[in-house]
Structure 1
Amino acid sequence: MIAKFMKEYAGWYLLYLLMGIGFLGMFALYHLPFDFILQSLFFTGSLLAIWTVWLFFRFQRKQLMLEEALYEEILDAFHLPSDLAYLQLLAQEKAVAKQEILAYKSRENEWQALIKIWSHQMKVPLAALSLMSQTNQLNQTDVNHQLLRLDNYMANLLNYMKLSNQASDFRFEKVEVKDVIIALVKKYRSQFLQKEMTVEVVGTWQIKSDRKWLSFALSQVIDNAIKYSPNSGTVTIHLDNGVTISDQGIGILPEDIPRLFEEGFTGYNGREHQKASGFGLYLTKRVLTQLGLMIQITSQIDQGTQVRIWQEK
């Protein structure tokens, strides 16, 4: 502690020593009596010793407070302008650290909720595949359907991780959206066939975008159109300065529509039919926003849902 004290106040003691030597030199130069200077040095030295003791104990108290992080007591002990500036900086750093901890905990809770939902969803197709295997009823269409569900759930998790970590690898190029749509229709062919649904693709639309991420966003919309449509229904995809995907499904409650893009929101349909995780449309909205695209959903109960995606000019 003494070494720290001397390191901080060494300049003041060096100044006192130099001043004393200077006065001795002047007295010697002018042949003045040394009794006066010695008495002065003794008097000022005594004051310096008393001041040093007081200053040392004050310095020691500050150091102990800092080492023990007694923040409330520091506020009373530190009153110099430099001390107050230091405390203000500490308070700012403390507030920032607190916000970061709260954000981290919030993110951790979101991850736990996501993993819980995701693991529950993964169990369903895995259980279906296990049952097919045990009963020797491995129908190719049903197997493909369950594998597609597993692939979609895995893609959702991986893309959620990428977007959360700001690690998205966007590469913009000219994209013919109709080609992306046709590829997705082929991907979901087994689901269309299983529900005996028809799909119509009309028109063309070319934009500059990222093909992979655009495909992911559109796949979420098409998957929902199939999921909530009745057997023998029709999904219509119209391309004209945008893409509109319409289904003849169960529709969405009016009060649920404003919250569809919130993270983890499932709405009445998702809870009632136990098919939604609440992350599909949330990810879709985030991806489309980063691609510079807009999305709007309109729906009527028992009449269907229309999802329009377009690029603002």
Structure 2
Amino acid sequence: MIRKYLLERISWILLFVCQQLLILLIAYVDTTIPLMPILYVVFLSVLVFSLFIIVRYSRETRFYKALEEWEGSLELIGMGEPESPFERIIEHKIVTQTERLQKLISQNQLALEHEKDDLLSWIHEVKTPLTAMHLMIERLGDPSLKAQLTYEWLRIHLLLDQQLHQKRISFIENDLYIEQVNLKSVVIQEIKALQSWCIQKGIGFDIQLEQPEVLCDAKWLAFIIRQLLTNAIKYSDHCDIIIRSYERHDRTLLEVQDFGRGIDPKDMSRIYEKGFTSTTRHSDHASTGMGLYLTKKAAASLHIHMDVYSKPDEGTTFTLIFPKRNDFVSIASM
């Protein structure tokens, strides 16, 4: 701050220095003027000016120091009290701009809340005819047509479910209920929901749950498992998907392993990015690039660490590493 202050006042300092040099020059050129008294006067002037700079530094930088330490948020607390007319101009502009931004943000948040509520309401309304459609499909006599329509119905259902959770994930902390969750019941429920798709692609499941229960939120855990199973089924054909759980270092691990096309190594660092699909199969319109992004966000809110191992054309293994029991204290306090 001292350097900035001196740079700000450099023109005044240079003016003072030039004045003192001019006085010394005149005293040096004009022999009638005694040089020593002039030197004494210049010395006193420099001393007084230096003390003046020190005193003014403390007063003139107080407001700017507070402004520099201010977080720059829309809260005006801690911005500092202005003293000079110029500081009052700065404060007035900041306060006016902040109030305008606060008003604008409030309006935008209200509009977003309305939009989110409308979308959630629409999704719930669409689920009613979707359920009726599923019942109608179940009554079809043609097995081939029934399988095709069920697959398309499932795709719509999964996309709606993904959109619903995408809107809910922003306030997931308010929607958590931590309890002992039976892994087998959650996994079986999600497999049953995807059964028609699995039959169509010739996919089976090998379930090995050594650790039968986990401390988590049942609804969001089901969503995470659903997204991992959906990915595994989507990129696999005529193979088994292995689902296993076990304990390591007082932590429960849940693995979902497929033997599908795998993930290209150069895509590995980007698979959790919003909207990212693939660089090798960019023309794959079936992928939205939202599944793993939402899965990662939901897992982070539940303090679940996600690992992935994959080899192209050999398959992919996603591992959910659940936190220790004590780590859930912070979640339960939300």
Shared fold (TM-score greater than 0.5)? yes
**SS of the residue 2:282 aligns to:** helix
Distance in 2 separating the partners of 1:298 and 1:235: 15
Which of 248, 257, 262 matches 1:251? 262
Distance in 2 separating the partners of 1:214 and 1:198: 21
Gaps of 5+ in 1: 1-77, 112-128, 130-135
Tell me the amino acid that sits aligned with residue 198 of structure 2. F
Structure 1 residue 144 displacement after superposition: 2.0
Distance in 2 separating the partners of 1:260 and 1:298: 12
Determine if contact 2:172/2:301 at 8 Å carries over to the other structure: no
Determine if contact 2:253/2:319 at 8 Å carries over to the other structure: yes
Q: What is the CA deviation profile of residues 271-302 of structure 1, one whole-angstrom value per residue up to 9, with x for unaligned ones?
A: 24322101111111111111121111111000
**SS of the residue 1:139 aligns to:** helix
**SS of the residue 1:252 aligns to:** coil
Tell me the amino acid that sits aligned with residue 213 of structure 1. W
- 1:209 alignment partner in structure 2: 216
Determine if contact 1:244/1:307 at 8 Å carries over to the other structure: yes
- 1:197 alignment partner in structure 2: 203
Q: What is the CA deviation profile of residues 15-42 of structure 1, one whole-angstrom value per residue up to 9, with x for unaligned ones?
A: xxxxxxxxxxxxxxxxxxxxxxxxxxxx
Structure 1 residue 140 displacement after superposition: 2.5
Q: Does 1:183 align with 2:194?
A: no
Q: What is the CA deviation profile of residues 212-253 of structure 1, one whole-angstrom value per residue up to 9, with x for unaligned ones?
A: 1110111011011011002x2111111112111111101111
Q: Does 1:277 align with 2:288?
A: yes
Distance in 2 separating the partners of 1:204 and 1:93: 58
Q: Does 1:236 align with 2:242?
A: yes
CA gap 1:295/1:274 in 2 versus in 1, 3 angstroms: same
Structure 1 residue 192 displacement after superposition: 1.4
Which of 221, 228, 252 matches 1:221? 228
- 1:87 alignment partner in structure 2: 93
Structure 1 residue 138 displacement after superposition: 6.4
Please identify, of 149-158 and 169-178, the stretch whose mean Cα deviation from structure 2 is larger. 169-178
Alignment of 1:1-313 (within 5 A): 79=85, 82-93=88-99, 139-164=145-170, 169-205=175-211, 206-230=213-237, 232-240=238-246, 241-268=252-279, 271-313=282-324
Tell me the amino acid that sits aligned with residue 231 of structure 2. N
How many residue pairs end up in the alignment? 218
TM-score computed with the length of structure 2 as normaliser? 0.56
**SS of the residue 2:175 aligns to:** coil
CA gap 1:233/1:268 in 2 versus in 1, 3 angstroms: farther
- 1:17 alignment partner in structure 2: none
Structure 1 residue 91 displacement after superposition: 4.6
Determine if contact 2:305/2:322 at 8 Å carries over to the other structure: yes
Tell me the amino acid that sits aligned with residue 160 of structure 2. M
Structure 1 residue 184 displacement after superposition: 1.1
Distance in 2 separating the partners of 1:299 and 1:163: 27
CA gap 1:272/1:84 in 2 versus in 1, 3 angstroms: closer
Q: What is the CA deviation profile of residues 80-106 of structure 1, one whole-angstrom value per residue up to 9, with x for unaligned ones?
A: 6544432332355567778x59x98xx
